[in-house]
Structure 1
Amino acid sequence: MIAANKFSRQLGPLFLSALISAALTHAQSTLKPDKPPITYANGLVGTAPLDDQKLIGNAPPPGEQLYSGFTSPGARLPHSSTELAPINANLDLSYPAGVRASYFYSNRTMYGFSSGADDSPTVMPVVGDWTVPPERSGSVYDKKQEKASPGYYSVYLDDYRTRVELTATTWTGIFRFTFPQSEKANILLDLGFSGGDVEVVNDHTVRGKSANGKSFFIAEFSKPFQSFGVFKQVPSRNRDPLIGFSDVEPESRTISGPFSGAYLHYATTAGEQVLLKVATGVSFEAAEARLHNEDPDWNFDAVKHKAEDAWAAKLNQVVVKGGTEKQRMLFYSCLYHSFASPHLIAKKGEQFTGLDHELHTAEYDRYDTVPFWDTGRNQIVLLTLFEPDTKLDILRSQLDRARESGYMATSFHGDNAIFMYLGDWKRGLNFDWASAYEYLRKNAMDPKGPRGHLAEYIQRGWISDFIPKGNPSPPYAGGKAGAATTLEYSWDDYALAQYALKLGKQDDYKMFLERAHNYKNVFDPSTGFIRGKTEDGQWISPFDPREPYYNFMMKEASGWSTLWLVPHDVRGLINLLGGRDKFDAKLDEFFSTPYTAKGICRDCTGVIGQYVQGNQPDQQAAYYYDWGGQPWKTQKLARQILEQMYGSDHTGYAFPGMDDQGSTASWYAMSALGFYPVDPSSSAYILGSPIFDQATIHLGSGKTFTITTHNNSAKNMYIQSATLNGHPWNKPWFDHADIANGGELILTMGPLPNKNWGSSPSDAPPSMSDNEQ
């Protein structure tokens, strides 16, 4: 108090009041008692759409729902194929959006719950009369009582006065139904449109298999049901099961066909609980073994706690301080979604069916395909940072899948598996890199492989497109996506060149390095954009860079968005655009030109000017100012995207576009920490603007990397100065080698840009063209 009186005489009471207020505000944001990270993670994040029209563009097409992130609020473990999740969209009878997502936050009727992996039955408790699917007996539910947290989901069905709770182990799911007093309590299970075989084994067990005979399930009930029966949907004469008629067989035990299922009847007292356990496998024996090994009793809470412990171990790897309560909720929810894929197929020692259609016994934890066009741009790096041991199994899984199928998986578009293998090699993982190269190279050289139009790409150095009859505007959705595919392959080829060089394959290095420049072949200097060509090499005309093309020249993107799809050679793109000043001016125009497209891109929500956060092609573009010598603009944009594109709707759960198995979520998680892997095949991390006062990252290697910010706030978003591992740092990026053994990045923030920090050409992140200057 004496010190305060002394300062009050020297500085004046108004200044002192402001100083104390600021100090208290800062203390409240950073010194609150920390809650465990898992308490912030909310599975409902990413299930709602943006609702500010200026962020939405012109989506969706008439008659469809706006893209809502399509994350799942269901109960699962990290990377698990087993998920128990709510279904509030009856996809058997409707097609509510461009993607067949089974859950939209805005929907208010529950139709059922998934019970595990693919081909597992849909489960629904019904009190009263019920109808055979596909009509499905739904219930309105109370959004206020809906809860989704890591490993757990709960909802109250108003019409049936029944609470449903879900949790899961690796291969089993367990339901807990709390019924009202009723003589008509029922639980329905069915195999959906594809159907299969269902059998009521005894008074507490139902089992079945998919129509293709590859997936089997076992369902056990904690209490014997009092009566039962089976049902299916009988196709009409035109063989359409959706307009057929029902076949319900009371007391029958077996049935086959579309929507084959069983109904189990109870008379319940108020608050009576019935539990249901479900497991799937490659046989009835395998499913039953999983059910009894992983879930031997009926202790729902014990299973839930184990699931929460598994998630806590993941989320505890990052401890953040500062930021707002909402920012911490969004961060940990996004980090939670980042561990969604790839999915586990078989644990070590378990059997699975490989891509060669043979039955194998897993020699390690086997995973399914990585969605390379999506999570291959960011999430694959996050997984390496946090779980390198799991990542080694993922690398091995993709290689063995290549051995079984003959080619490395490509996943949707491009050929981006090389990003994961080269990036992990550069980040120090120990793997059989030479064996992986055999298949990575085969993808890039064999025209019969998964790279579309590869022969044309090798011959010409670019891929043409064809002009549809009448060349309609807005453009049609078909085509070869020639210009965008050329860019994707060029990026892939640069990574292959570096990979070949590390293996000492000089001839391959030179060949792929030459091909890595092919992106220049589809750059039109007369317009300053990437542009499609016809087979005779002429630029396709008319051409409007503001129009979103689904496959005509571009891939789910406009000419504006596709322009920046050169992450491996941003400096080369700078040169094409006429130097740094013109490059930055082009970026400025990109982020400020209003979105006025005629054509509708379903994925294109979350817009800032022509920039689209909701789809992959340009998600890295906000970080390009770090190459252009204006890193303060990247810092401002990163904050703007984090603030406006995530949770800015009335629910607080919105995502732009699609999450794509953790891609959009990973963008938030890493950008909130303050860095982003613009080129995942590179070991460079590009700096943005952290939203937290401190983030302690426990790397999977056992080392700790800490990012500390001083004077950080919503207004103080600009980096004034930095130190890395105790040394002054003037670059808007750092390398994995700088943090591989742990370290600390300290950033001093301020309300105005420091235009001298990180702006020199020598401070820019690496690019392919660096060695050509």
Structure 2
Amino acid sequence: MQGIRPDLTLPDRPATRRPTDLSGTLDTKAPTHLTYLCLSRRHVTDNDVNLVERARVRLRHRHRPLRGIARPAALAAAALLVITVPGPAGAAQAAPPRKPPGATEFHSSFESGDPQPDWSDSVDTGPDGKPRAFGVTPQTAPAAPGMNTGTDTGPGDSPTAKAHAGFSGTHALRYSGTHTADGHGYSYNKIFDVNVPVTGTTSLSYKLFPEMAKSDPDYPATHAAVDLAFTDGTYLSELSAVDQHGAPLSPAGQGASKTVYANQWNNRESRIGAVAAGKTVDRILVAYDAPRAPRTAPAFRGWVDDIVLGPKAPEKPLAHLSDYAVTTRGTLSSGSFSRGNTFPATAVPNGFNFWTPVTNAGSADWLYEYARKNNADNLPTLQAFSASHEPSPWMGDRQTFQVMPSAAAGTPDASRTGRALPFHHANETAKPHYYGVTFDNGLKTEITPTDHAALMRFTFPGDQASLIFDNVNDKGGLSLDTERGIVTGFSDVRSGLSVGATRLFVYGVFDAPVTGGGKLPNGGCGVSRSSGAGACTGGKDVTGYLRFRPGADRTVTMRIATSLISVDQAKANLTREIPADATFNGIRDRAQSQWDDLLGRIEVQGASRDQLTTLYSNLYRLYLYPNSGFEKVGSRSRYASPFSPQTGQDTPTRTGSKIVDGEVYVNNGFWDTYRTTWPAYALLTPKRAGKMVDGFVQQYKDGGWISRWSSPGYADLMTGTSSDVAFADAYAKGVNFDAEAAYAAAVKNATVAPPNPGVGRKGMNTAPFLGYTSTDTREGMSWALEGYLNDFGIARMGKALYEKTKKPRYKEESAYFLGRAQNYVKLFDDKVGFFQGKDARGDWRLPPGTFDPRVWGNDYTETNAWTFAFTAPQDTRGLANLYGGRPGLAKKLDAYFSTPETASKEFAGSYGEVIHEMTEARDTRMGMYGHSNQPSHHIAYVYDAAGQPYKTQEKVREAMSRLYLGSEIGQGYPGDEDNGEMSAWYVFSSLGFYPLVMGQGEYAVGSPLFTKATVHLENGRDLTIRAPRNNARNVYVQSLRVNGKAWHSTAVPHRLLARGGTLDFTMGDRPSAWGSAADAAPTSITKDDKVPTPPADLTSPTAGPLFDNTSDTSAEPTGAPVDLPRPARVASYTLTSSDRATAPAGWTLEGSRDGERWTRLDHREGESFAWDRQTRVFAVGRPGSYEHYRLVPDGKGTLAEVELLGAP
């Protein structure tokens, strides 16, 4: 015999299988032929095994009770029964009739009661009789080619998933092996023996968890997939099947796509009927297939769960765009790895409150975790539904109030674990305007919001109905009026970063009679029947319950409102927004209409369902923030100020905070949002943008500053006063707001040494005079580079205000700030080829021998020198010149995108440990490009400035196609989704342009995602972006026409887009020369090929306290001369006040060539300084070249610093 393998050992059948009685499975009326073939264990060939398996499959799945029959493995040296049931007597025995069809679907989560694997550690045999494995060996016995496969308790560790569990349930199928070949290695293991016919609607789905092996950059375990073997000898992996994202559904294709995250569950779906209709699935396989051996760790391991094979109806368009949005997107996250770090906030756009389900009612940061904190059965549980005002889990929540339904009899268990109810995500609906969940016990909760209020409907499974009230901690109060059915209370819950947070008040009423209730002793812990410490409630002051007699429909509806002013104001807010006759459906429809209006600003064609979910979920996140902080008090808008000192004492019913007229907005981290969200507001909803800008300018009018991180007040966090450039950009784009007040706030940020660290810019005692923020300030270089970008915005806004008002001060300041915007060159160390910090003496932080651009922290906020190598988008031509010109900039970008981020402790730098941003950047898998964090978001578009826009197109499309996946299982982002910024990047990029040069009023061209997108502008016009040949391969722009005319620049002015019109892209699958000409780059300050030489102070720091580069010292200007080393032309000068009240009001600047004869160059009178330690600039009226200068005051006064600015 050919091909005999005397050493072959067939896998054993699971011992739990028992023989099944066949008597009820055969048609005893038909002649039955029983044939058996005795196979010696010594004489089994691969072909024999294949025949045996095929026969057994047909027997087993056409007669389902035969599932327990012993497999060939158990009969290795015994006999195989081959049963055939011929047709009517006399029919030809050579042509048996067709067998009944198999089951139309299959599902296993590897749990008790689910189909269990028919094989373990068993390599499939191909039609050629050969095992489908090569270059892979198992990690455990048997010692044969191929990998191990078998059921266990799932991955032991994950930053986002529950440990020792499957995606669902407590078990999963493990695959593991060692890639021993230098090159191609594979193992296709058979798992289930099935008989499922494939129709046009058949779909395959499963969950995959590849484990990261020693940070191997090849991500070996991601080269895995579920495969299907068909009865005709073909395999799904050979049929060009693709998953829901368009990636090939084969182990090699999945690995190459880089769409599979390691150490996390990944969802995969494929409508296999498109390629396999008419076939019959014979075996379900799990396969590993990689083109080369892993670089650092040849072993690989992963898990598969929730395999579903069966019909799936075609997806139909949804009735509302808001229905595409999923608010749980981004919640499969943690502080160790972010896939968004969001929570499912139900709210109206930019609303006063959020309303959210809570998986950990004792947490003021991660409110809702999709799976990581599941219970012992691996089910999520909710402990409360809460009012929230959380801007980010890193900032923490504040002003919370919790409610939780209970169907228990008697006094409900109010402890967090005792009242927690499990549910399945399939029974959860999480939309912007509505949240609903049906718990496993049948109890249902629904929420729909208004601005300051919400309507909650609880449907109980029986007559027992209670609501438990609680809070994160005991910092609050609760009052229960059982006679009138009213709940009131207050909340002082706040995080350490909730700077300025004031007291919140609540008022709630019900539609069902209250039959009892009250406060709970010991905060409910005394009646807990579930667990001890840690399971308790917020505390005795905040915990209580009400019992109800539900109506015939077993519902209890609560109308609840909040206020930051008083309980009475909360009641007024409720009456105004949800009157007694309001219905749940009516409030829900009104909220949905508000979201539909905003989400409907963009409509697209050529999008998959997943892309629609991504787009509209991103628009939801964009307009979830910032948030109104004001209330309607009578006919006026008023707010309790988080920016000014309190004027009284808080009481249980009224705030002691200062009540201010006006409309204020809060909850925004401008370091994140300036890059994309504010430009998006300006394009899509300029009127709303203007209102929100004014809301932050109100912070300045009230408290003297605009928050860097408003939560709600002046949190000391992040680098840069980025509202400066955000609002300057809005003004450049025609947004209407109090521009002069916004400009004044920006100038204050840029010129005043702030009185406390929570406001303004850091290092301002020396930075304006050195031209950079020194290493004396933590992350000083980051402060400096962000400052230059903001200075550019101020310069642009000052120029526009001068053109409008003709006030000379705006012109002077515009020129001054434009010069400062080029000071980035002062922090470029050409010896190392990167930006780095230096001290006040001008010494670099590190010498070339020890500098390593891969090291995180120190100078670089949440990143390293690689990402900060391109942080000068306001002057990309000047930046290119630092690298030797446009080709040098392109080469630097290429190195950036090809140098891998390792996320190793070796490069943790000042952080000491690997931080989540490092791991997320590594798993972006685009070199050092960490799309997971905001500082990188503009970098792909810098290729436009480098003369290689095709690489912008390539990188942007890769990011959109790979990094926004997993919406259906709580993922959706590659990192923190901060107040809409990560979302707005996608929105802009999907349209084909991006706000690269903030403050300039233009967009850099990228690569549109859809075949057609229509932006319905607020002025009633449409902007239409057409790319009819667009698809996953045709990502390169071949040509662009704007309003029908050929367009060769990679920048498009906002004014053109804002008037409506068309962008017509011709797309192709190969790079083109479009946009590569020298004059096609985005706008830049620098216009030539020289490194910028911005104005510098010509005085010496040794000339005295007025010239010592710090505002920490002061002196009276006496008119004494200042001698320069050589004659120089001073174009402008700055004066810095010490105490504004003692600053001079008039003076004369004079110049001399010999120190004897003096010429008046500039005279001022009636001047003033608005703030202490403020730097003001003055243009020299009649400049000339002089070696000696003096400032002669008109009277007595004190200054902190004087600068004479000219060419260095």
TM bucket normalised to smaller: 0.7 to 0.9
* Greater alpha carbon shift after TM alignment, 506-515 vs 140-149: 506-515
Task: Tell me how far apart the structure 2 counterparts of residues 637 and 644 of structure 1 sit (CA, whole Å).
Answer: 11
Alignment partners' CA distance in 2, 1:190 and 1:452: 40
Match of 1:18 in 2: none
Instruction: List per-residue Cα deviations over 1:158-206 (Å, max 9, x = no partner).
Output: 2x431111110111111111111254x3211123215222111234211
Q: Which of residues 856, 881, 903 is equivalent to 1:548?
A: 856
The reply to whether residue 198 of structure 1 matches residue 478 of structure 2 is yes
* Gap change, CA 1:188 and 1:679, over 3 Å in 2: farther
- Give the counterpart of 1:444 among 750, 756, 760: 750
Whether the 8 Å CA contact 1:717–1:749 is kept in 2: the answer is yes
2:566 pairs with 1:566: no
Distance (Å, rounded) in 1 between the aligned partners of 2:1030 and 2:998:
28
Q: 1:682 aligns with which of 997, 1000, 1006?
A: 1000
1:641 maps to 2:951: no
CA distance in 2, matches of 1:245, 1:708: 57
Q: Say which of 603, 608, 621 aligns to 2:917.
A: 603
- Shift of residue 82, structure 1, vs aligned partner: 1.5
Partner Cα distance (1:208, 1:120) in 2: 11
**Structure 1 34/201 Cα, relative in aligned 2: closer, same or farther at 3 Å?**
closer
How has the CA–CA distance of structure 1 residues 652 and 207 changed in structure 2, closer, same or farther, with 3 Å as cutoff? closer
**Within the alignment, does 1:328 sit opposite 2:612 as a pair?**
yes
CA contact (8 A) 1:222 1:298 kept: no
Mapping for residues 596-635 of structure 1, pairs under 5 Å: 596-597=902-903, 598=905, 599=908, 600-604=914-918, 605-606=920-921, 607=924, 608-635=926-953
Q: 1:650 to 1:168 in 2, by over 3 A?
A: closer
Task: Work out which of the residue numbers 570, 574, 579 in structure 2 matches 1:291.
Answer: 574
Contact 2:482 2:515 in 1 (8 A): no
- Say whether residues 1:41 and 2:330 are aligned partners: no
Amino acid paired to 1:547? V
Counterpart Cα distance in 2 of 1:231 and 1:680: 55
Cα deviation for residue 211 of structure 1 reads 4.1
- Equivalents in 1 of 2:1064, 2:536: separation in Å? 68
Q: Which residue of 1 aligns with 2:766?
A: 456
Q: What's 2:1021 paired with?
A: 703
CA distance in 2, matches of 1:714, 1:556: 32
Q: Select which of 658, 662, 674 maps to 1:376.
A: 674
Q: 1:247-646, aligned counterparts within 5 Å?
A: 260-266=542-548, 272-281=554-563, 282-296=565-579, 297=581, 299-347=583-631, 349-354=636-641, 355-356=643-644, 357=646, 359-360=658-659, 362-363=661-662, 365-368=663-666, 370-411=668-709, 412=717, 413-448=719-754, 450-465=760-775, 480-504=778-802, 505-541=810-846, 542-549=850-857, 552-597=858-903, 598=905, 599=908, 600-604=914-918, 605-606=920-921, 607=924, 608-646=926-964
Which residue identity does 2:749 align to in structure 1? N
Q: 1:76 aligns with which of 347, 351, 354?
A: 347
CA distance in 2, matches of 1:737, 1:534: 43
Deviates more, 1:167-176 or 1:394-403: 394-403
Name the CA shift for 1:547/1:133 in 2 (closer, same or farther; >3 Å). Answer: farther
Structure-2 separation of matches of 1:492 and 1:771: 23
Which shows bigger deviation, 553-562 or 117-126?
A: 117-126
Shift in CA distance, 267/501, structure 1 to aligned 2, threshold 3 Å: closer
Q: In 2, are the aligned partners of 1:647 and 1:653 still within 8 Å (CA)?
A: yes
Where 2:746 maps in the other structure, the secondary structure is: helix
Distance 1:760 1:157, change over 3 A: same
Q: CA deviation at 1:623?
A: 0.8
Task: Determine the C-alpha separation between the residues in 2 that align with 1:537 and 1:233.
Answer: 61
Give TM-score scaled by structure 1 length: 0.85
1:201 maps to a residue whose letter is D
CA contact (8 A) 1:233 1:245 kept: no
**Which ranges of structure 1 fall in alignment gaps of 5 or more residues?**
1-24, 26-30, 50-59, 237-241, 249-255, 467-478
Aligned to 2:1083: 766
**Which secondary structure does the structure 1 equivalent of 2:781 belong to?**
helix
Tell me the CA shift for residue 703 of structure 1: 2.2
Moved more, 697-706 or 594-603: 594-603
Match 1:693 to one of 995, 1002, 1011: 1011
| 1:176 aligned onto 2:461 | no
Q: 1:137 pairs with 406, 419, 440, which one?
A: 419
Structure 2 Cα separation of the partners of residues 376 and 636 of structure 1: 24
Render the CA deviation track for 1:381-412: whole Å, top value 9, x for unaligned: 11111222222211222222102111233223
The AA in structure 1 aligned to 2:1076 is S
Q: Which moved more, 1:507-516 or 1:729-738?
A: 507-516
Equivalent AA in structure 2 for residue 566 of structure 1:
A
Task: Quickly say closer, same or farther: Cα 1:244–1:653, change in 2 above 3 A.
Answer: closer
Selected match of 2:1049 from 710, 725, 731: 731
Partners of 1:566 and 1:573 within 8 A in 2: yes
Q: Radius of gyration: which is bigger?
A: 2
Cα distance, 1:295 vs. partner? 0.8
Give the superposition deviation at 1:269: 8.4
RMSD of Structure 2 on Structure 1 (CA) = 2.8
Q: Deviations over 1:227-263 (max 9, x none)?
A: 1021375799xxxxx9989999xxxxxxx96661221
Q: Equivalent residue for 2:383?
A: 111
Q: Specify whether residues 74 and 270 from structure 1 end up closer, same or farther in structure 2 by C-alpha distance, changes over 3 A only.
A: farther
> Does the 8 Å contact 1:686/1:732 carry over to 2?
yes
Check 1:232–1:404 CA distance in 2 against 1; reply closer, same or farther (3 A cut): farther
1:524 CA drift (Å): 1.3
> For residue 757 of structure 1, what is the amino acid of its counterpart?
W
CA–CA distance in structure 2, aligned partners of residues 593 and 630 of structure 1: 19
Q: Deviations over 1:729-754 (max 9, x none)?
A: 11222011222221100001111111
* 1:102 counterpart = 2:367: yes
TM-score by length of 2: 0.55
| CA displacement 1:575-628 (0-9 Å, x = unmatched) | 111111121111111111111132223234252211111111111101111111
Quote how far apart the aligned CAs of 1:71 are.
2.4
Contact 1:721 1:757 in 2 (8 A): yes
- SS of the equivalent of 1:350 reads strand
User: Could you tell me which amino acid in structure 2 is paired with residue 438 of structure 1?
Assistant: A
1:480 is displaced (CA, Å) by 0.5
Which letter maps to 2:460? Answer: F
Report if the CA contact (8 A) 2:330-2:970 is conserved.
no
Change beyond 3 A, Cα 1:194–1:559: farther
Q: Give the structure 2 partner of residue 13 of structure 1.
A: none
Distance across 2 between alignment mates of 1:432 and 1:649 = 39
Measure how far apart 1:208 and its partner are.
0.8
Q: Which has the higher helix share?
A: 1
Call closer, same or farther: CA 1:359–1:724 in 2, change over 3 Å.
same
User: CA separation in 1, counterparts of 2:540 and 2:1044?
Assistant: 66
Q: Quick one: distance in 2 between partners of 1:420 and 1:269?
A: 52
